Structure formats: structure tokens, C-alpha cells
């Protein structure tokens, strides 16, 4: 069973995806970490993430064992990741790893921007998780503050809007809801309510598809 979860930054998709994977006993891949790791390695070499040749070099040399690096969650890397993610060559290089992860025997949950549209168009269930930019900025602001990072809520909102624009309007695999994805708007839901709503959508979809349990 493959569950594809897409959505913009700070929509709650990562937390929901992780809990869904634990609930159904599936493997979990946060595909944003791949782009973040490519950005990290490009910057570490003194390269420019906006330069396709530099970013591709990092994508080709990417070591999946480094994907657990906690520094990948740093806010500046989100912006750099969005820049490397624009290059079709980079996306193409990361495709095989994501597809083979998805086809692991036990089944998998993947979250990102193009899982339901490009990586796993055949997924059993697709969710598109979103929330208003203001609510996403509020959540990210609280999270960053808790981690000792001092940015204003207005700065976080500006960063979120810039990334949304870039991720939605790039030519290669832009962020968009797959026609067969279920929309989950978490603007007025806390994380427990959002998780329950996701499980209800998945169970209903699996029931319709004739799966047991
Ligand atoms: O989900 P995240 O914030 O960790 O993602 C960081 C950036 O990586 C995001 O702005 C766009 C890019 N990304 C992508 O293009 N495709 C994916 N499947 C996942 C992330």
C-alpha cells in the first residue's frame, strides 16, 4: 500500500504523514529531506543552489545515510532546498530513490510536493494537506521560537509565501493537488483532529477500493 501526501510548507503534512505511517505500520519518507540534503551539500562546497550543475553534482553524490541529519530542518535550508528543487535534472536524479522506497514490500507513506502527481501517480490513497499561509506562518513561528530561532511572524509569512510561489510555479513537477487526491484543510484543526480526519479519509478510500482492515 502506498499513501502519497503532498502540500505546502508548514501545512502539517509531515507530522500527519509520520503518524499515518505508524498507524498502518508503513515505512515513511519525508522527501523534502532529499532536497534539503542536496542544498546542504551544495552550500557546504561553496556552490550556489540556484546553479543546476552544482546542485546536480550534490544530487548524484547524495548519501541517503545522511538524511537523518537534524540540521536539515534549519529554516534557511528550506529556501535553498526550494531553489535546488527547481532544476529538472536534480528532480530526475532523486526519482529512482523515491520510487524504490515507495515500492518497499511493507508499503510506504511519502510526503512532499509531487508524490501524487509524479513520484507515485499509482498510489492507493492521495492526500493534499493545506492551510492558509497565515496559519502556516503562525505554526512555523511557534515551532522556530521553541527551537530558539528568532524570526518575526511577518518574516516567516514572507518566507512561506516566497516558497509557495516558487514551488507552485516552477516548470518541473510544480506543487499541485492531483485530480484524485483528497483535500485536507487543516487551518481550523489541531494536529490530533487533522490526523483523525486523515485516517477517516484513508479508511474510506481503502474501503471503497476493497481492502481488508
Ligand atoms: O517539505 P520541505 O519544507 O522540507 O521541502 C523543502 C523544499 O523542497 C520545498 O520548498 C520544495 C522542495 N520539495 C520538492 O520540490 N518536492 C518534494 N517532493 C519535496 C520537497
CB atoms within 10 A of CB 198: 26
- Whether 71 is covered by a domain: the verdict is yes
In a domain, 15, yes or no: yes
Q: How many distinct structural domains can be found in the chain?
A: 1
Please give all residues whose beta carbon lies within 6 A of any atom in ligand 1, as ranges.
Answer: 9, 31-32, 35-36, 78, 81-82, 85, 112-114, 163, 167
Has residue 213 been placed in a domain? no
- Which ligand 1 atom is at minimum distance from the Cα of 78? 6
Measure 196 CA to ligand 1 centroid, in angstroms. 24
Question: What is the per-residue pLDDT for 210?
Answer: 61
If one counts every other C-beta atom within 10 angstroms of the C-beta of residue 98, the result is 21
Q: How many whole angstroms from 81 Cα to the centroid of ligand 1?
A: 6
Domain residues for the domain of 203 are 2-208
Q: Is 146 exposed, middle or buried (0-12, 13-18, 19+ CB in 10 A)?
A: exposed
Residue 65 included in any domain: yes
Look at residue 35 in the predicted model and tell me its pLDDT.
98
Mutation probe of ligand 1 site: the residue of 31, 55, 84, 108 with most atoms within 8 A of C-beta:
31
Q: Is residue 27 part of a domain?
A: yes
**Which of 28, 26, 199 lies closest to 112, judged by CA?**
28
Nearest to 30 by CA among 93, 59, 62, 72: 72
Digit-by-digit pLDDT tens for the chain (213 residues) are 999 999 999 999 999 999 999 999 999 999 999 999 999 999 999 999 999 999 999 999 999 999 999 999 887 899 999 999 999 999 999 999 999 999 987 899 999 999 999 999 999 999 999 999 999 999 999 999 998 888 999 999 999 999 999 999 999 999 999 999 999 999 999 999 999 999 999 999 988 766 654
Could you tell me how many residues make up the chain? 213
CATH code for position 132: 3.40.50.300
Grid cell 545515510 is found at: 65
Q: What is the pLDDT of residue 213?
A: 47
Amino acid at each position: 500500500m502506498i499513501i502519497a501526501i503532498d502540500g505546502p510548507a508548514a501545512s502539517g503534512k509531515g507530522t500527519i504523514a509520520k503518524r499515518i505511517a505508524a498507524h498502518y505500520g508503513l515505512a515513511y519518507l519525508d522527501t523534502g529531506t532529499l532536497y534539503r540534503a542536496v542544498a546542504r551539500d551544495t552550500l557546504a562546497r561553496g556552490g550556489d543552489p540556484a546553479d543546476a550543475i552544482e546542485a546536480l553534482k550534490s544530487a548524484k553524490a547524495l548519501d541517503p545515510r545522511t538524511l537523518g541529519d537534524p540540521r536539515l530542518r534549519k529554516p534557511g535550508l528550506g529556501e535553498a532546498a526550494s531553489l535546488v528543487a527547481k532544476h529538472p535534472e536534480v528532480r530526475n536524479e532523486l526519482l529512482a530513490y523515491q520510487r524504490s522506497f515507495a515500492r518497499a514490500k511493507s508499503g510506504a507513506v511519502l510526503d512532499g510536493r509531487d508524490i501524487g502527481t509524479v513520484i507515485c501517480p499509482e498510489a492507493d490513497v492521495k492526500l493534499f494537506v493545506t492551510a492558509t499561509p497565515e496559519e502556516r506562518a503562525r505554526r512555523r513561528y511557534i515551532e522556530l521560537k521553541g527551537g530558539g530561532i528568532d524570526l518575526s511572524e511577518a518574516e516567516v509569512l514572507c518566507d512561506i509565501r516566497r516558497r509557495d510561489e516558487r514551488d507552485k510555479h516552477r516548470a518541473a513537477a510544480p506543487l499541485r493537488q492531483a485530480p484524485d487526491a483528497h483535500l485536507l484543510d487543516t487551518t481550523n484543526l489541531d494536529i490530533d483532529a487533522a490526523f483523525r480526519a486523515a485516517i477517516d479519509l484513508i479508511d474510506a478510500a481503502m474501503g471503497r477500493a476493497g481492502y481488508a482492515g
